[in-house]
A and B are shown apart, each in its own frame.
Chain A
Amino acid sequence: MKRLMFSFAVFVALASWAPVKNGYEVGDTAADFKLKNVDGKMVSLSDWKDAKGFIVIFDCNTCPYSKAYNERIIALNSKYASNGFPVVAINSNDASASSGDSFEKMIDYAKKKGYTFPYLVDESQSVARAFGATNTPHVFVLNRVGAELKVAYIGTIDDSPRDASGVSKRYVEEAVDALLAGKPVAQTKTKAIGCGIKWKNS
């Protein structure tokens, strides 16, 4: 009994010491997921057998920042999908809080914009929570190392949301270029103003 009590005490101590994790940090291994695409098919990262990595973007239909970055996200996929880093866009907004982000509206939006990449609905918001996504667009560059996908960059696309012509730092492109060249990513984390993800019951 004493021993059991001791084990329990140790367990409690360890449990309270364990740091609270709010999503991934750079260097963490990203878990795969299975989400529904706007074409109705289920998509997982493991579907891409030859991918060197991914540009995972938490995005939506309604945020003005998402709108401002729309063309730039399409351009990222055009530039990097063929090099092994496809864009995978995920919409985690609660559609009951943001009606413009319903699955039907996502289908319309992807069609209208001519998305060349998957646009997945994260209805349970579990993928956004696992990644620690907070806003839209929020980018996670994943790099395949052996069988694992390591988080190599977290943050914003570039330093000029207002206009694409005013960009002086292309954070995502620099990260992917470095990975393709087998070099370390210079700037692994950035912040940006953006729309918070519309969480359920918050």
Chain B
Amino acid sequence: MHKIITLTLLALAGFLTPAAGQDLVRLQKLQQIIQNEKEKVQVINFWATWCAPCVKELPLLEKLKADQPGIAVRLISMDMDLDPDPEKVRRFAARKKIQSQVLILDERNPNQWIDQIAKEWSGALPATLVINNKTGKRKFVEKELHEGDLEKLIAAVQ
């Protein structure tokens, strides 16, 4: 009986949210996304819904996304590290009407993957990586962004 209910619920969940899951990425997939972006400069922001300074700097990233279509803004949620429910992130993104791409990193042991994203990163949030695959230049900051910071970082990877 239990099994039937579970299966029904699973089927229903799948039916109601057909696209759910595509925003959940493992490290390898995230690295592929970053590497495959050949045209645009990427601003990759590591954040979480519980992180107050992250939420505070979100409007700066959203403004960049709106003003500069030549920049790819990706918001990588670290929420799953603490809470396995990705719905919390999706609800948050919907409520805030976030236009930038939101990806939810689905990894367990940060000690195994933090260095693969940025060796200089301690793991503290927020953190932002700016990458230009055309010039091969990258900039990484591990602090809250303020007005004008993103523009400077982007200029530094041209």
Interface positions of A (Cβ within 8 A of B): 64-65, 68, 98, 134-135, 138, 155-156, 159-162, 190-199, 202
Chain B 68-93 interface mask (CB, 8 Å, partner A; 1/0): 00000000001001111000000000
Complex CA gap A68/B81 in Å reads 11
Question: Which residue of chain A lies nearest to B114 when distances are taken between CB atoms in the complex?
Answer: A191
Q: A134-B142, A161-B82 are known; give 17 further A-B pairs, CB within 8 A.
A: A135-B125, A138-B122, A159-B111, A161-B81, A162-B81, A190-B111, A192-B110, A192-B114, A192-B123, A193-B124, A194-B123, A194-B125, A196-B126, A196-B144, A197-B124, A198-B53, A202-B144
Label chain A's interface by main secondary structure.
loop
A65 close to B143 (CB less than 8 A)? no
Q: Is the CB of B124 within 8 A of A196?
A: yes
- Chain A residues contacting B51 (CB-CB under 8 Å) are 195
Among A64, A98, A156, which residue has its beta carbon within 8 angstroms of that of B50?
A64
**B115 contacts A by Cβ under 8 Å:** yes
Interface size class of B (residues with CB under 8 A): 20 to 34
A134 touches B122 (CB 8 A): yes
Interface string of B119-131 (1 = CB under 8 A from A): 0011111100000
Q: How far is the CA of A171 from the CA of B121 in the complex (A)?
A: 19
Given contacts A161-B81, A162-B81, A195-B51, contact A134 B111 (CB under 8 A): no
